[in-house]
Amino acid sequence: MQRMQDTGLRLFYTQGYFNTSVDDVLKELQMSKGAFYYHFDSKEDFFVQIIQTNLTHRMYASLIDPIKSHENPLVRIVKCLEDNLETAVHNELDFGCLLGNFIAEFNGRNETIMKHLNDILAIWEVSLVTALQKGKFNGHLDRHVDCEAVSLYIISSYLGIRTLMVGTAPSAKKYRFMSQLKHYFKSLEARPITA
Amino acid sequence: MQRMQDTGLRLFYTQGYFNTSVDDVLKELQMSKGAFYYHFDSKEDFFVQIIQTNLTHRMYASLIDPIKSHENPLVRIVKCLEDNLETAVHNELDFGCLLGNFIAEFNGRNETIMKHLNDILAIWEVSLVTALQKGKFNGHLDRHVDCEAVSLYIISSYLGIRTLMVGTAPSAKKYRFMSQLKHYFKSLEARPITA
DNA sequence: GGATAAACCGACCCACGGGTCGGTTTTATT
DNA sequence: AATAAAACCGACCCGTGGGTCGGTTTATCC
């Protein structure tokens, strides 16, 4: 069962959902169609279940939990994104951000699936906002910072760079991206009292 | 011919390439298969031609030409992106950035098509870098600014926000995004000589 | 060990998808 | 008007894709 979902997610991620057939998944698993349709109502149902368990777990593990801390959120976020980009650089078969790719693939095309993807996105966003607000309270961020906007900007740029890094020179792109992210973050820091 | 490509691009954009059949395009055009395969070798060839003409034109018109100017590039870029986002907000059937969506869909899955998409991406990036460098020369940007990195960061965030805006509250997202972009840009401006 | 259900198998169904091809209409040329 | 080339038609091919179903194996419980 775990194996089915792992394999399914891997194939959907690497080849795209519409470009991956149930037979593809079955071949990889050496499993019969009967077994598959005994466990899942349809290809879509299969994918929804993958999202709810597998994809959600991965998002928590890589992008949500790592920023939960009482330290300076800007520092935590930088480290978290840096780690994720570094992993991507060293991953031979990187195809971008799991969540980002699926959102791009299903945007406006499948309401059911988008609902589940948006749920994860919302959790991610909220966890960022929460971390930033805590940082404001703790004096790490300037009090004029718009946490929702910053959160959105971070997610946007991250989804974008993950897509762009699939192409050539991922490592160089990672450095360039991180340099600008840090630059941007510096402008969010609490201003010295000397104003 | 123009109609064929326009329709093809529209369908591939709104439904995705893999999720759109040649028959779909034909039905929309009220055209026979024979006519289609008289003009194009294959579905892929059809798409490549669309990229080379139609998609390229649109990219120039919306994101490349508008930033070619002798004014302050930061101002130009802000206005250009703002305009594009505003158009997206008012477009009932917006599905994200044309180029960005296709890149996400074909990343690592079709070398031929990716080559063409990357060509456009490279042109866009170069035009941004050029504009920024000119801005540096003209004293609009701080001389320590890494133009390649800034350009990459802009593209990343733009591709990301376009994807996110397909969901709910595009207008609110646009404002939040723009506010942070401007914030970031402020940190790139030439420092007052008082340093 | 017999009964019952859960888990699984794979042949089969049928619509769809990309692509072909023999033939017909349209257009341009002389 | 004759001719040839360009443009077009749509029936057809065949592999694929999602999904079904009658039957078989495997676990479970008494």
pLDDT tens figures, B124-169: 999 999 999 999 999 999 999 999 999 999 999 999 999 999 989 9
Q: How many helices (H) and strands (E) does chain B have?
A: 10, 0
Euclidean distance between CA atoms B100 and A135, whole angstroms: 33
A37 interfacial to chain B (CB closer than 8 Å): no
Mean pLDDT of A57-69: 95
**B149–A180 CB contact, under 8 Å:** yes
Any idea which residue has 């998944």 for tokens?
Answer: A25
pLDDT digit string, tens, across residues A91-125: 988 999 999 999 999 998 999 999 999 999 999 99
Chain A 42-81, CB < 7 Å to strand D: 42-44
Work out the minimum CA distance from A118 to partner chain B, whole angstroms: 8
Work out the minimum CA distance from B145 to partner chain A, whole angstroms: 10
> Could you tell me if A96 and A165 are in contact, meaning their C-beta atoms sit under 8 angstroms apart?
yes
Q: How confident is the model at residue A195 (pLDDT cuts 50, 70, 90)?
A: very low
Name the closest residue on chain B to residue A170, using Cα atoms.
Answer: B152
Q: How confident is the model at residue A69 (pLDDT cuts 50, 70, 90)?
A: confident
Mean pLDDT of B95-115: 95
Cβ of A21 less than 7 A from strand D: yes
Mean pLDDT of A138-165: 96
Class of domain B43-186: mainly alpha
Q: How many helices (H) and strands (E) does chain A have?
A: 10, 0
pLDDT at A133: 95
A43 CA to C6 C1' distance (Å): 22
Nearest CA to A27 out of A18, A38, A36 is that of A36
B41 CA to D4 C1' distance (Å): 24
pLDDT at A191: 78
| DSSP class of A1 | -
Classify residue B179 as exposed, middle or buried by CB count within 10 Å of its CB (0-12, 13-18, 19+). Answer: middle
**B118–A167 CB contact, under 8 Å:** yes
Token pair for B15: 């439904």
Any idea which residue has 């907000």 for tokens?
Answer: B89
Q: How confident is the model at residue A4 (pLDDT cuts 50, 70, 90)?
A: very high
> Could you tell me if A163 and A100 are in contact, meaning their C-beta atoms sit under 8 angstroms apart?
yes
Cβ of B42 less than 7 A from strand C: yes
Classify A43 as helix, strand or coil. Answer: helix
- Compute how many other C-beta atoms are within 10 angstroms of the C-beta atom of residue B36: 18
**A100–B153 CB contact, under 8 Å:** no
| DSSP class of A54 | I
Name the closest residue on chain B to residue A119, using Cα atoms.
Answer: B167
B13 CA to C26 C1' distance (Å): 33
Q: Which of B183, B185, B188, B189 to mutate to test the interface with A (most CBs of A within 10 A)?
A: B183
Cβ of B37 less than 7 A from strand D: yes
Work out the minimum CA distance from B102 to partner chain A, whole angstroms: 9
B144 interfacial to chain A (CB closer than 8 Å): no
Cβ of A34 less than 7 A from strand D: yes
pLDDT at B150: 98
Contacts of B10 in chain A (CB under 8 A): none
Q: For the CA atoms of chain B, what is the radius of gyration?
A: 19
Mean pLDDT of A73-80: 96
Query: How many CA atoms, within 13 angstroms, populate the side-chain half-sphere of residue B97?
Result: 27
Work out the minimum CA distance from A126 to partner chain B, whole angstroms: 15
pLDDT at B1: 83
Euclidean distance between CA atoms A135 and A129, whole angstroms: 10
Nearest CA to B145 out of B125, B156, B129, B161 is that of B129
Q: How confident is the model at residue A194 (pLDDT cuts 50, 70, 90)?
A: low
B49 CA to C16 C1' distance (Å): 25
* Residue with the larger pLDDT of the pair A64 and A193: A64
Euclidean distance between CA atoms A163 and A157, whole angstroms: 10
Mean pLDDT of B50-70: 94
Mean pLDDT of A2-24: 94
Euclidean distance between CA atoms A87 and B10, whole angstroms: 36
Q: How confident is the model at residue A190 (pLDDT cuts 50, 70, 90)?
A: confident
